[in-house]
Structure 1
Amino acid sequence: MKWFQTVTLGLSMLIATGCASTADKQQWFYPPMAVPLQASMQQEVQIARLSQLLLRTNLSDELRAKMLYERGNYYDSVGLRDLARLDYGQSLKLNPAQSELFNLLGVYYTQIGEFDAAYEAFDSTLDLNPENSYAVRNRAIALYYGDRIDLALEDMEAHFAEDSSDPFRALWLYLIKLEKEPQVARQDLLKLYQQRDNDWGWVLVALTLGEVSEEQTFKAIFAGTRDNTVLAQRLTEAYFYLGKRYQYEGDFASAISMYKLAISFNVFEYVEHRYSFLELSRIFNQVKAEQLAKAKLEQAKQE
C-alpha cells in the first residue's frame, strides 16, 4: 500500500498543476528511464522445475495440461512468447476447456497481426466463459487493429459500461472512437476526466488530452514511486499512450521513439509493451504505402 499512497500523492500534485501554463516549460533533454526488468531467479527456477516435471511419463492429461499452461505463463512473463504459445497449444490439445488460455492466445495473435486467429481465440474464451470481461476488451482491441472499427466500438462500449470510472477503459474507448468521431471522442473523454478520481490511469488520460505537459506527467511518475518495477510499469504505459498521441498527430518520428521506449523496460505482461511492436509495424507500413503512392504519382507525371 505504501507505493499506492505515493502514487496518489504524485497524482494529486499533477492534478493541482494540470491547469498551469506550459508555455515556459523546460524540455526533457533525456527521456525519463527505469532499469529494464530482468527475469527473476524464481521465474527461472520455476521454468526449470516445470520442464523437469514434464519429462515424466506418468502424468495425467489434466495435470500435464495444467503444467504446460503454468510454464507458458512463466515463458510469457520473461518475454519468450513463441515458447509460451507452443506450451499453450499443447495444453489446449490435452484440455480444450480453458477459457483464459484462449484469451492469452488471442492477445498473442493480436500482437503479431494474425487478427482472424485472435478473433477466434477470443470467441472461444467467451463461449467457455461469457462473463470474461477482459476477453471482450481484448477482442475490441484486436478488432480495432484489424480495422473493424464498428465492431470494436461495440465491444469496447460494452466493456466500458461495466466500469465507467476505469481510466484505461475510457482511454481505449477514446482511441477506437477517435477513428470515427474525433471531436466527440475528445469531448467524451474530457468529460470523464473532469469527473476523475485518484486512479493513476487518469494521469495518462490527461497526457493524452494535452491537459498536462509531458514534464508534469513524468514528474508525477517519479514523485509517485521509488520502486523500479512500478516505475518501469508506469513509464511503459506513459510512453505507449504518448506514442499514440504523437501518431494520431502525424508525428511519426516522435511516435516511433515513444514506442521504442515503451518496449525498452521489458514489462512483457503489459498490453502497452505488447502492442508497441504492433504500432511500430503499422507506422512502417503506412509510411511505406505513402512513399510508394508518391513514387507512382511522380512516375505518372514524368510519363
Structure 2
Amino acid sequence: MRSQWGWFLGVLALLQGCALAPASEQSKILANLMVVTPQQADIRYQLEIAKLNEVLAHDLELDAESKAQLLYRRGSLHDALGLLALARIDFNHALDYDPRLADAYNYLGIHYSQIEEFEFAYEALEAALELDPEHPYAHLNRGVTAYYDGRFDLAVDDFTLFYDRAPEDPYRAIWLYLAEFEVDIEAARTHLAQNRVSHGTEEWGWVLTDLMLGVVKEQDFIDRYATRNLGADETMAERMCETYFYLGKLKQQQGEHATAMVYFRLAMSTNVFMFLEHRFAEVEILRSQQAIEVQRQRSTASTSA
C-alpha cells in the first residue's frame, strides 16, 4: 500500500487542527499511524444506478412490486456510495409501492440512527422485525440505535440475540461487549474473554477483541496485525476503517477522548460508507467532543475551588 503525499499532508493538517489534543498526544498518534488512500467509488455501482434510472423512467409497464424492488436496489447503491439523502428518498418511495419491504425499513432505521433521530429509527426497525422476525440484521441495528441512544440494557438484549445466532462472528462479540461495558465494565471484559476462548480463531476480527481486552498492546496491534493478511475480498481501506474505529473506542474507554476523536476522523476518511464503523464514526466524534467539554468543565470547577 502506498500513501499519496497529498493525502498524507491532509491527514497531518487534520491532526494539527485538533486543538484539543496536546502536542505530545499528536506526536504519539503520528508515530503509530498507518494512513490509507480512501476507498474509491465503485464504477459498477454508478453504472447500475444509470441503468436503473433508465428502467424506472421509461418502463411504464412495471408493477408496484417491481418498482419497489428497483427503488430499493437503487437506494442500496446510493447508500454504498455515501449518498444517504438520495438513498432515503429511494427507500421511502420503495415503501410507497410495497409497504411490506422489511429491508427498506432496516436501512431507514440505520440512517435515522446515524443522524440521531432515534424515535424514527426504532419505528423503522420495529417495522422491519414485525414484517420479518428473522431479519438477519434488524436486531443488530436496533441494538446500535439503543447503544447510541444511551439505552444500554436494551442494546445488550438486542446484541445478545444477534450474537447468539452466530457466536463465531467476532464483530457480534465486540458490539455486545461495547454495550455491556456501559453497564458493568468488569463483567463485560470477563464475558468478552469467555467468548474469545470459546469461539475465537485467528481471524482478523478476533484480533480486535484482543485489542479491546488488552491482550495485544496498541503498538503491536498496529505493527503486527492491522495491515497484514488481508482477505481475498478485503481492501486496505476497509481494514483500516475498522482499525481506526476500534482504536477510537479503546481510547474512549481509557478516557483519552482527544485521541479517540482523531481515530474516528481517520475512520471517516476511508470512505468505506457501508461499514457500520464508518457510519457511526461521526456520532462518535460528537460524543468525544462532549466528553472533552465535560472534562474541561470539571477541570475549571476544580481549579476554581
Does the pair score TM above 0.5? yes
Structure 2 counterpart of 1:274, one-letter code: R
Secondary structure (helix, strand or coil) at the match of 2:137 reads helix
Partner of 1:47: 49
> 2:256 aligned to 251, 256, 274, which one?
251
Partner of 1:14: none
- Cα offset, 1:281, TM superposition: 1.6
1:158-197 alignment runs, 5 A limit: 158-195=161-198, 196-197=200-201
- Kept after mapping to 1: 8 A contact 2:196/2:209: yes
Partner of 1:13: none
Partner of 1:205: 209
Query: Does residue 227 of structure 2 align to residue 222 of structure 1?
Result: yes
- Cα offset, 1:232, TM superposition: 1.2
Give the TM-score normalised by structure 2. Answer: 0.83
Secondary structure (helix, strand or coil) at the match of 1:55 reads helix
1:1-303 alignment runs, 5 A limit: 29=31, 31-56=33-58, 58=60, 59-195=62-198, 196-218=200-222, 219-225=224-230, 230-288=235-293, 291=296
Unaligned runs of 5+ in 1: 1-25
Structure 2: how far apart are the matches of 1:27 and 1:106?
34
- Cα offset, 1:81, TM superposition: 0.7
Name which of structure 1's ranges 28-37 and 88-97 shifts more when overlaid on structure 2: 28-37
Partner of 1:16: none
Query: Which has the bigger relative contact order, CA under 8 A and spacing at least 6?
Result: 1
Deviations 1:134-159 (A, max 9, x none): 21111011111111111111111222
Give the TM-score normalised by structure 1. Answer: 0.83
Residues matched between the structures, number? 275
Change in Cα spacing, 1:145 to 1:165, as seen in structure 2 (3 Å) is same
Name which of structure 1's ranges 226-235 and 274-283 shifts more when overlaid on structure 2: 226-235
Secondary structure (helix, strand or coil) at the match of 2:161 reads helix
- Cα offset, 1:62, TM superposition: 2.0
Partner of 2:21: none
Structure 2: how far apart are the matches of 1:275 and 1:226?
24
- Kept after mapping to 2: 8 A contact 1:221/1:231: no
Divergent runs of 4+, >4 A: 226-229, 289-295
Name which of structure 1's ranges 36-45 and 218-227 shifts more when overlaid on structure 2: 218-227
Unaligned runs of 5+ in 2: 1-27
Structure 1: how far apart are the matches of 2:281 and 2:215?
23
Structure 2: how far apart are the matches of 1:101 and 1:122?
10
- Kept after mapping to 1: 8 A contact 2:143/2:158: yes
Structure 2 counterpart of 1:222, one-letter code: T
Structure 2 counterpart of 1:198, one-letter code: E
- Cα offset, 1:211, TM superposition: 1.0
Identity among equivalent positions (%) equals 35
Structure 2: how far apart are the matches of 1:70 and 1:125?
17
Structure 1: how far apart are the matches of 2:173 and 2:94?
34
Structure 1: how far apart are the matches of 2:232 and 2:168?
26
